[in-house]
Amino acid sequence: MKDTIYALATPVGGAIAVIRISGPEAKPALEKIFTGKIQHKYLSHGAIMDGDIPVDDGMGVYFAAPNSYTGEEMAELFIHGGYAVSKRVLGAISKTGLRPAAPGEFTQRAFLNGKMDLTRAEAVMDLVSASSGRGAKSALEQLNGSLYKIISEIQNEVTDLLSGVDAAIDYPEELEEDIFTPLPSQIKHIKNKLDDLIKNGLSSRMVREGIKIAILGRPNAGKSTLFNAMLGEERAIVTPEAGTTRDIIEGTLIINGITARLFDTAGLRESSNQAESIGIDRAREAVDKADILLIAIDGGGDITDEEKTLLSHPGKRLAVICKSDLSDGAAAIAEAEKYGVEHITVSAATGEGISGLIDKIGSMTAPETESALVTNIRHINALQEASNALASSLDAEEADCIATDLRSCLLSLGEITGAEADDAVIDRIFSRFCVGK
């Protein structure tokens, strides 16, 4: 039999705090500490007692198993949110012999009791931690089981193909139809679906987790001025001297409902100054971590090799031709076009072009379809493995090898819904949750 756990489900210091209790002792514990009426799904008012001493006044609700979030006996208390009150109430609960919950333990129990599959359990956490409105929307869709439905459909299709191949291996004489001729196109069809989910998933991951945008360029290109103009505040130091910025400076702005973390970096050049060199190393590292690279180029200058390297960087990037109040930037524009990089001309000093730049970034982050579902990196990786297994089945010549690849595709898909996930993976997933969820 499981033990009974409790946790504060809200941050301390709000107006109201919520305490959750789950496990076989939930009802007896509630009876000990709460004077209100205790009835399934009935919210009642009462005192919270520590023995004979009232420690707070609040609301309580009891859920009889299995009709609760975790599928177990559960109770929730809504108390005053102050630190001292929460502490006394938690103290009273612990005296009833319950155990404090580990991170994600409520949702883990819900999963283990079959209340939700893994995609939904993870969506709970994504919803709690979503930093933007659109991120919350996609997590909510996932919570409603839409990802589970799509993955199940794909699993069925692969299982159908696999059963055909298995039948052809085991009973070659009895098969009336030729299953092998249409097989490659059937597999490709499924693989395309997986690849679309992955592609849209990557951009919707940016939606949920926010995007990282790094501004890079050579010294004095106008990066810090651009950074300040985008944030609308004087954050980074600007001087006419080359090599002003050293540390990476971070600011946050919301673009189309997405949280964007903007990074200003040290201008790239060879430097003998130690602090500047370290700053330049960090700037180069920022290139790899950024979802979008803004390549700041002074429209009035010549194009350097550093700038050419940035323009040829793979991944999402945009050339920002700076100081349009001083020059038309024709040479820089021509260079960006040569590398096939989109460009926009701005003057951070006058503000010209800045809102256009922000719109452009917004369009670069928009998922390609409205229904981007896969926002979780674990899911994206599993989909990628499933897709790789299908690719390998297309190359396979022996029926046995095709069957093996189709099986490994199914295993990867099963990891997403939890049907095939092993205990270690499941523990790791739930340990990322917050306590009380």
Ligand X SMILES: Nc1nc2c(ncn2[C@@H]2O[C@H](COP(=O)(O)OP(=O)(O)OP(=O)(O)O)[C@@H](O)[C@H]2O)c(=O)[nH]1
Q: Phi and psi of 374, rounded to 5°?
A: -90, 105
224/387 with CB nearer Mg ion: 224
Q: Out of 10, 200, 204, 245, which residue is the one contacting Mg ion (CB under 5 A)? A: 245
Q: Is 235 in the site for Mg ion (CB under 5 A)?
A: no
Instruction: State in angstroms the smallest separation of the CB of 273 from Mg ion.
Output: 14
Among residues 279, 351, 291, which one has the least CA distance to residue 322? Answer: 351
Closest to Mg ion by CB, 223 vs 360, is 223
C-beta separation of 367 from 202 below 8 A:
no
Q: Binders of Mg ion: how many residues, by CB under 5 A?
A: 4
Q: Which does 167 bind (CB under 5 to 8 A by kind): Mg ion, ligand X, none?
A: none
Q: Closest CB to ligand X belongs to which residue? A: 267
* Closest separation in Å from C-beta 350 to ligand X: 7
Q: Is 355 exposed, middle or buried (0-12, 13-18, 19+ CB in 10 A)?
A: exposed
Q: Does 224 bind Mg ion (CB under 5 A)?
A: yes
Q: Which does 22 bind (CB under 5 to 8 A by kind): Mg ion, ligand X, none?
A: none
Which residue is listed with tokens 């929730």? Answer: 76
CB of 356 to Mg ion, least distance (A): 22
Q: What are phi and psi of 181, to 5 degrees?
A: -65, -50
Shortest distance in whole angstroms from residue 243 CB to ligand X = 5
Q: Are 192 and 360 in contact (CB under 8 A)?
A: no
Q: Which does 323 bind (CB under 5 to 8 A by kind): ligand X, Mg ion, none?
A: ligand X
Smaller CB separation from Mg ion, 226 or 403 = 226
Cβ distance to Mg ion smaller for residue 58 or 219: 219
Q: Which one, 152 or 244, has the nearer CB to Mg ion?
A: 244
Cβ nearer to ligand X, comparing 16 with 242: 242
- 231 touches Mg ion by CB under 5 A: no
Q: Please state the closest distance from residue 341 (CB atom) to ligand X, in A.
A: 18
Phi, psi (rounded to 5 degrees) for 207? -60, -45
Out of Mg ion, ligand X, none, which partner does residue 242 contact, by CB within 5 to 8 A per kind?
Answer: ligand X
Q: Which residues bind to ligand X, rule: CB under 6 A? A: 217, 219-225, 238-240, 242-245, 266-267, 322-323, 325-326, 347-349
**Binding-site partner at residue 164 among Mg ion, ligand X, none, CB < 5 to 8 Å by type:** none
Q: Which range of residues in 201-209, 236-244, 315-323, 348-356 is near Mg ion by CB under 5 A? A: 236-244
The interface with Mg ion within residues 55-114 (CB under 5 A) comprises: none
> Quick one: 101 or 319, whose CB is closer to Mg ion?
319
The item of ligand X, Mg ion, none sharing an interface with residue 327, based on CB under 5 to 8 Å by kind, is: none
Nearer to Mg ion, 241 or 270 (CB): 241
In the complex, the residues that contact Mg ion under the rule CB under 5 A are 223-224, 244-245
